[in-house]
Chain A
Amino acid sequence: MAEDLPKAEEFLANIDYKVPDTAWMDTPAEIRKGMYCYASNPKSVEYLGLPNARKWNPLDDDWQLPENWQEIIHNGFKERLERFRSVKVFMDICVRCGACADKCHFYIGTGDPKNMPVLRAELLRSVYRNDFTKIGKLLGRAAGARKMTLDVLKEWWYYLFQCTECRRCSVFCPYGIDTAEITIMGRELLNLIGLNIDWIATPVANCFRTGNHLGIQPHAFKDMLDFFVEDIEEVTGVELEPSFNRKGADILFITPSGDVFADPGTYTCMGYMMLFHYLKEKYGFDITWSTYASEGGNFGFFTSHETMKRLNAKMYAEAKRLGVKWILGGECGHMWRVIHQYMDTMNGPADFLEEPVSPITGTKFENAKSTKMVHIAEFTADLIKHNKLELDPRRNDHLKVTYHDSCNTARGMGMFDEPRYVINNVVNHFYEMPANTIREQTFCCGSGSGLNAGENMELRMAGGLPRANAVRSVHEKHGVNMLACVCAVDRAALPPLMEYWVPEVDVTGLHELVANALIVPGENERTTDLRGEDLPETEDDADE
């Protein structure tokens, strides 16, 4: 920070502390600590076969780009304009009405005008005009066009990694322009010249090689689930026997590895395991975990279409190998956006699988007809709707719960009601946040799309401010102390966000709440929840 501290004469010259008003094109990006993620480890870039693997530092003047980088970007841009009609349309039709301008959580939280979605898109659009339109070539800046220079490139990199691809802005655009898609394409272009971030590239490399973001090997994955079996036995007295890599099982279960390896996701993971055990005991439910396809998340999505496709294919290859009927997926966000929006045209249709039908209720999951993959929130909501679960929501009475819609499950796949339906059946105290902060208008956690690193904490806290501010309001009004979500990145990103803005509120996955309420056959009377915290006295106890 010290290097850019203001000088005494600057203070005196500007005692009103007013920032100068330069036009955006004349205000070069200042790359600030805390706002960007570290450059990727060249080993990971190499492993993935992505271009220009080298050690580089965003704070250095020289980014060690290939000599013809401008040509690479120009050609890559051209190719994508031809390939993605949406991008071409988005480049042309924006009327700069400003409806999207103040809808981005990064704009709202950072107060940086270049985080207005319209300006973020203009970063690329200005180069598009210069390179691909007559009027731009002719009139230059007067037509909003500018040449691709190193400064422009740095600005792209800085601000395309300050967008979580959450699509909130698109909800407000009268033309449906989706800035997330522009960011996705922009990041893909940056990858062509080796401008990636490590928080994305290394997990992608791990996932590609070992099957999950951490590079945890299959035996260790199983070890973790075995730890959970012991934990669950301690809380319930029931011993579970999860099944692994079993050929011929009815259903394959795949969840983000964050559920297996990081709190509070681990409790959600225990929740899945208890639910499956319950269903097996009661209805002969037949499901298996894979220690190879051990990652539902797909950070390839934040790299390039090709990388996303490679990672997504692994899940389906495993389903084929095991010969299951369909895939049940855990609580995740971007994993579902990939499946819902891209899988079918990328690797689908998954003809070798069957159309998903709940073996317990007979419900056909029409929405998953082609991808053959069902979100566990839908699956559980259906079970509850058909009265297939015995639940005691009083065991969650110590919790006052609100629900954060993950951008990806909400705006990315339209899942609003299923998680709420489940919550309302497993807890007694549920409170919604203000209407303009939930459902399709939900505010991002501020850390999505691969931005949940440690070094960009300031960016994450600023971007998460609108979400945290809404949580604070229900905390103050109703005493909310638990923020529920159905996304593994949320479970990783929201705890520090809460710690900074609303420390009284903790974070949980949906199936942790389900498991706490679920009356498992043969269980002992529970005295603690899955976290080992004492349960509140029930009314019956109080009467005794």
Chain B
Amino acid sequence: MKLSKLLIQHKAEVVKKWFDYAVQSYKADVAQFLKTQGDQFANPVGGALSQNLEPLFNELCGQMNTEALTASVDPIVRIRAVQSFAPSQAVAFIFSLKRVIRTILKKELRNENLLQQLYEFDLKIDVLGLIAFDAFMVCREKIYDLKANEMRNRTLHAFERAKLVKNTSLYSIHAQAAQPITNREGVLSKKK
């Protein structure tokens, strides 16, 4: 008996349970909403999970292609990176797949031969966990990058040079997207 064959046979059940575990990191009424609202525009968080868990599972059962794994894990982790989760909680849903499989294949896994294969499958889940953690860090860095750029824009160097800001601590509301001001340095400094 091959584990991969068994897993494919139970795919629907596994993915569904995996989804349930993943939404347990939210309060019960939120989890309920994430599970039941099927319109992905009304429920982008649930949508990202339901669209990506199955491809992730397929990849785990198949080629373990890094790009494909990243492409499917990123939309989930990108959301969790802005949702007040600790880093561990943000990626914990990956590891819950181990419990899902053990629960669903409880009977079959008494077979020792399968246990050896399960050990190998667990390693793949660990690899996915590492990939998810990298994706998480990329998102967090992006957030800090956005924060830092806004800070830079807030101080409005170009404005200062052009003596346009009276007091740099009184920063702008609307100026946050102000890449322009730095892009336009040439234009701004022309006027002297």
Contact = CB atoms under 8 A, between A and B. Distances in A.
Contacts of B89: 6, 17
Nearest to B145: A499
Interface string B170-181: 111111111111
B177 A458 contact: no
B84 to A, nearest CB: 5
Nearest to B167: A215
Given A257-B174, A436-B39, A457-B143, A210 B79 contact: no
A102 B33 contact: yes
Interface residues of A, number: 84
Interface centre among A108, A265, A459 (most CB of B within 10 A): A108
B63 interface: no
Contact of A227 (B33, B171, B191): B191
B84 A35 contact: yes
Interface residues of B, number: 68
Main secondary structure of the interface of B (DSSP, over half): helix
A452 B177 CA distance: 10
A210 B30 CA distance: 46
Given A112-B30, A199-B173, 8 more contacts: A6-B89, A15-B99, A19-B24, A112-B84, A458-B143, A466-B44, A492-B178, A500-B78
A224 interface: yes
Interface centre among A108, A113, A214, A496 (most CB of B within 10 A): A214
A206 interface: yes
B19 interface: no
Contacts of A261: 159, 172, 174-175, 178, 181
A1 B180 contact: no
A265 B167 CA distance: 22
Interface of A: 1, 4-6, 11, 15-19, 21, 32, 34-35, 41, 44, 101-102, 107-113, 199, 202-203, 205-206, 210, 213-217, 220, 223-224, 226-227, 230-231, 256-259, 261-266, 297, 299, 434, 436-437, 450, 452, 454-455, 457-459, 461-462, 465-466, 469-470, 473, 488-489, 491-496, 499-501, 507
B88 interface: yes
B187 A231 contact: yes
Nearest to B176: A492
Main secondary structure of the interface of A (DSSP, over half): helix
A6 B88 contact: yes
B139 to A, nearest CB: 8
B29 A113 contact: yes
Contacts of A437: 41
Given A6-B86, A203-B173, A461-B82, A473 B165 contact: no
Contacts of B33: 101-102
A107 B188 CA distance: 42
B177 A491 contact: yes
